[in-house]
Amino acid sequence: MAGQLIVSLSGIRAETRDLAADFAREMDGRGVQLSLLVAPRLKDKYRLVRDEGTQDWLRRRQAGGDAIVLHGYDQAATKKRRAEFAALPEHEAALRLLAADRVMEETGLRTRAFAAPRWLASPGALAALPRTGFRLLAGAAGIHDLERGTVVRARVLGVGEGFRAEPWWCRALVLGAGRTARRGGVVRLAISAKQLGRSGPRQALLDAVDLSLHHGAQPTGYRWQAKGSGSRVA
């Protein structure tokens, strides 16, 4: 049985957009759609609503088949050394999700899929997601269908955004992707746009994608499929 391949890209902003666009062209040449992880706010006072160039690029990628995935609200640590949604109670998680959702709607990038910063969502965040209209959670160890209550078990192999970027890890990532694809599993690869500026991590992702495709993995994205229909909601 053929496996699946999901490639996600985070940290997209004006300063990294050219790197992201170059990587996207590489994926287009391989027939691989991307899942673009987008946060309304990032450090250094970045605001998506003020970055019309990135908004436009994301909308064009979405129209071409890429999935848009909400990736937190401002990615600020809510507890010391903890990722934004890693330790939130349900009420606070819901407030952040609603605030982020409003920005995404304003920019024409609204989505029903969510991946928490560093892929870590607390039980409170997990409870808040369906309450605030989200239907899919991409977590560190699996992909959750929040309406059906099902989980596809598959861990993320990534570079940056909480993952290592040393040469030994890049080699392990490629080997891990190959093993999973050979078994017919779900290969989940992730990289931050900043890491695309480094030749080692970028080449590791490309090698992992190529090896997964070689073993027959079928490209897909983080999308939720409605019951009783073939339609998918990114």
The percent of residues in the chain predicted with pLDDT above 90, rounded, is 87
pLDDT of residue 230: 47
Range with the poorest average pLDDT among 3-17, 63-77, 184-198: 63-77
Reply yes or no on whether the pLDDT at 81 is more than 70.
no
Q: How many residues does the chain have?
A: 234
Give me the residue label for tokens 């759609």: 33
pLDDT of residue 226: 77
Q: Is 164 strand, coil or helix?
A: coil
- The pTM (predicted TM-score) of the whole model is 0.94
Residue 94 neighbours by CB under 8 Å, 6+ apart: 128, 131, 132
